Amino acid sequence: MSTSTEPAPHSQTGRPAPRVSHAPYRREPYIRCRMVGLGVDGKAVAWTRTHVLVHWIDDDARAHNRWVHAAAVVRIRRDDSAWRDPYDDFEFYYAHASPQPAGAAS
């Protein structure tokens, strides 16, 4: 996980904006978000102490990004997600799995 540099002041309040953190590209944690009007499996692409930027692609192949309260988000395993990013870093998500020999039954 990496953290952004010193936050800039918020344009409306003059106070520093919350520090935003990000996972390495294509290694974002999978999440399940359940709240009124929203129920999706996706990825947490950024987060603060109170909010998570949820990314997912819907059934019509449209990408969505929405900030939601952190309390509405739980982390899940990639295999438990209804949506999976086809561009994931597979070695990161499956580092514990040993490679199967060619022709081996699963």
Encode pLDDT of 65-85 as tens digits.
Answer: 999 999 999 999 999 999 999
Write down the pLDDT at residue 3. Answer: 43
Q: How far apart are CA 4 and CA 28, in angstroms?
A: 16
Judge contact between 42 and 33, C-beta under 8 A. yes
Give me the half-sphere count of Cα atoms (radius 13 Å) on the Cβ side of residue 16: 8
The domains of the chain, with CATH numbers, are 16-93 (2.30.30)
Write down the pLDDT at residue 2. Answer: 44
Average pLDDT over residues 28-52: 94
Q: How far apart are CA 100 and CA 74, in angstroms?
A: 31
Assessment of whether the complete model's pTM goes beyond 0.85: no
Write down the pLDDT at residue 103. Answer: 59
Q: How many residues does the chain have?
A: 106
